[in-house]
Amino acid sequence: AQTVTQSQPEMSVQEAETVTLSCTYDTSESDYYLFWYKQPPSRQMILVIRQEAYKQQNATENRFSVNFQKAAKSFSLKISDSQLGDAAMYFCAYRSARTGTASKLTFGTGTRLQVTL
Amino acid sequence: NAGVTQTPKFQVLKTGQSMTLQCAQDMNHEYMSWYRQDPGMGLRLIHYSVGAGITDQGEVPNGYNVSRSTTEDFPLRLLSAAPSQTSVYFCASKNGGQFNSPLHFGNGTRLTVT
């Protein structure tokens, strides 16, 4: 079974600075998808960014980018120019690309990000 | 476009009571699922459905029942609530035909069992 590990329960960053959230995963599969979800205090789950394992290029969405290291099974999220609205819990998630896996997501335990002035 | 709608937002139950958490989506998604979120444990899959009339168990199915009589609705039933079921519950759906499409989540239901 796949596992996702987020080793940083809490992180803090100053406004306008850059922060990197870590995620590692364990799988024997070669094709899969990785996601970062943001959960603000409103409890809503918001997709931040996704990466397909067969793509070597790291995904980028505005101030959010990932460092995907397939061999190391690492998928870190970099937030540039941090804003107060970035304060939230961030979850890393894995999904197999195998047919028959029915779109199941395996989540990490989350990293709570604080943004300070 | 409402997306995924969960009701209620909050619920308090006594041990042994039953209730149904409602989930509806208006995106014609084939795939629907229920997760529970507990502190320090992330989200864990309870049950899922790949289409009307088809359901299957996830990682933590005990104590929960589901059915999928229509594409739009996927209710989660607690037949006899226990304090261990105190959690935040999320319903999520996805376009089954697009393999790399993301899950769309509802806003969650906070359930407390006393």
What are the 10-residue block averages of pLDDT along chain B, 114 residues in total?
90 97 95 93 93 93 96 96 97 81 92 97
Mean per-residue pLDDT for A66-91? 97
pLDDT of residue A79: 98
Lowest mean pLDDT across A26-40, A75-89, A101-115, B66-80: A101-115
Q: Determine, for residues B92 and A45 on separate chains, whether the beta-carbon distance falls below 8 Å.
A: yes
CB B90 within 8 A of CB B108: yes
pLDDT of residue A98: 79
pLDDT of residue B55: 95
A107: pLDDT confidence band, cut at 50, 70 and 90? very high
A15: pLDDT confidence band, cut at 50, 70 and 90? very high
pLDDT of residue A12: 97
Q: How many helices (H) and strands (E) does chain A have?
A: 0, 12
- Cβ neighbours of residue A17 closer than 8 Å, sequence gap 6 or more: A81, A82
Tokens at A22, concatenated: 């870590």
- pLDDT at residue A104 is higher than 90: no
Looking at per-residue pLDDT, the higher value among A109 and B97 belongs to A109
* DSSP string for residues in A47-81: EEEEEETT--SPPEETTEEEEEETTTTEEEEEE-S
Q: Which residues of B touch A105 (CB under 8 A)?
A: 35, 43, 45, 103
A56: pLDDT confidence band, cut at 50, 70 and 90? confident
Q: Is residue B50 less than 8 Å (CB to CB) from chain A?
A: yes
Q: Is residue B23 less than 8 Å (CB to CB) from chain A?
A: no
pLDDT of residue A100: 64
Looking at per-residue pLDDT, the higher value among A31 and A89 belongs to A89
Q: Is residue B92 less than 8 Å (CB to CB) from chain A?
A: yes
Q: Determine, for residues A109 and B88 on separate chains, whether the beta-carbon distance falls below 8 Å.
A: no
Q: Is residue B19 less than 8 Å (CB to CB) from chain A?
A: no
A77: pLDDT confidence band, cut at 50, 70 and 90? very high
Q: For residues A63 and B27, what is the distance between their CA atoms, to the nearest angstrom?
A: 29
pLDDT of residue A13: 98
